[in-house]
A = this chain, B = another copy of it.
């Protein structure tokens, strides 16, 4: 028995560990460090319809136990991803989850339609944190109806299961999740980054050229855990969890909160071997915890009562 194998819509994973979108490019760089086939899956970088250069630099800034990024969706466009990146990745025995982004619903739909037909793409991940240019730049992922509409539209054209990536920058993550579940999403991935900013005291200017950016890394882990805990008890579709994972213990914490698999982002930058290391460490940790199979960990800390907190 493979104690780490996990079954999710469209995804038969040999283990539940995958690099998070945008933190692993299209895998080429990490392939120099280890065999990508050891991974459960790979979430590739956000892909848009046309090639994009992204934001001016600086694009990253460090924060206490975290980092801000404002890459700005730099990517070669869906057709080149299909022509160049996915075939290259096909040499590895690893399912690909394609991260789909856009500025309009039409763009998402078109990217999803095309990329979901690639043979090694086993699922889509809709990055709904992007601003909707037709709706005054309000992110798709902050209005339940808009996110639901987008989900439905993408589901209609996708050849593979669709996971929707939740933005944590919302008042009620459970409302969002339920709307997206009802719209037919096959799964959720969460959380994307929190909006943040840093200012350089010497120059008086924001450090990021884009001024604001997305906060990731260990700093956001408690927020991710809380949101996964809440959402996983409110929906019945599976959740791939992410946000600050660095160790096998962190992975178990996400499973206890309700995740069925996890993704690792920022930690890849700190240690390129972090994913294979976690995969290596998990069996011994399961032994220590007296758990046969990692799936048994999902939702272990669930509790039906609702929680209340007052910032005090």
Which A residues contact B (CB, under 8 angstroms)?
A: 21-22, 45-46, 63-66, 68-73, 99, 101, 127, 129-131, 137, 139, 142, 165, 167, 169-172, 192-199, 201-202, 204-206, 210-215, 217-223, 225-226, 229, 244, 249, 252-253, 256-257, 289, 300-301, 303, 305-312
Q: Within 8 Å CB of A249, what residues of B? A: 201
Contacts beyond the supplied A65-B65, A69-B312, A129-B310: 7 A-B pairs with Cβ under 8 Å = A130-B310, A165-B311, A199-B225, A201-B256, A205-B301, A206-B303, A219-B220
The smallest C-beta distance from A244 to any residue of chain B, in angstroms, reads: 7
Query: Contact at A222–B201, with CB atoms within 8 Å?
Result: no
- Contact between B244 and A64 (Cβ–Cβ < 8 Å)? yes
Chain B residues, Cβ within 8 Å of A99: 312
B310 and A127 within 8 A (CB)? yes
Q: Is the CB of A195 within 8 A of B210?
A: no
By the criterion CB–CB under 8 Å, are B66 and A199 in contact?
A: no
* Contacts A171-B171, A198-B253 given; does A306 touch B213 at CB 8 Å: no
Partner of A137, one of B194, B219, B220, B308: B308
Contacts of A139 in B (CB 8 A): 310
Number of copies: 2
Shortest beta-carbon distance from A191 to chain B in Å: 9
A308 touches B131 (CB 8 A): yes
Tell me which of B45, B211, B252 contacts A307 (CB under 8 A).
B211
Min Cβ gap A165→B in Å is: 8
A196-B225 CB under 8 A given contacts A65-B218, A127-B312: yes
Q: In the docked arrangement, what's the CA distance between A9 and B218, Å?
A: 38
Contacts A221-B64, A300-B204, A301-B206: A226 and B311 contacting too (C-beta < 8 A)? no
Please state if A222 and B63 are interface contacts (CB–CB under 8 Å). yes
Residues of B within 8 A of A300 (CB): 204
Least CB distance from A293 to B in Å reads: 15
Q: Which residues of B contact A229 (CB under 8 A)?
A: 197, 199, 206, 211-212
Contact of A21 among B198, B199, B303, B312 (CB under 8 A): B312
CB-nearest residue of chain B to A204: B300
* Contact present for B312 and A129 (CB under 8 Å): yes
Question: A65: which of B64, B130, B252 is its contact (CB, 8 Å)?
Answer: B64
Partner pick for A171 among B170, B211, B222, B303, CB 8 A cutoff: B170
Smallest Cβ distance from A134 to chain B, in angstroms? Answer: 14
Q: Can you list the 7 inter-chain pairs with the closest CB atoms, starting with the nearest?
A: A196-B222, A64-B218, A129-B311, A65-B65, A197-B226, A64-B65, A219-B219
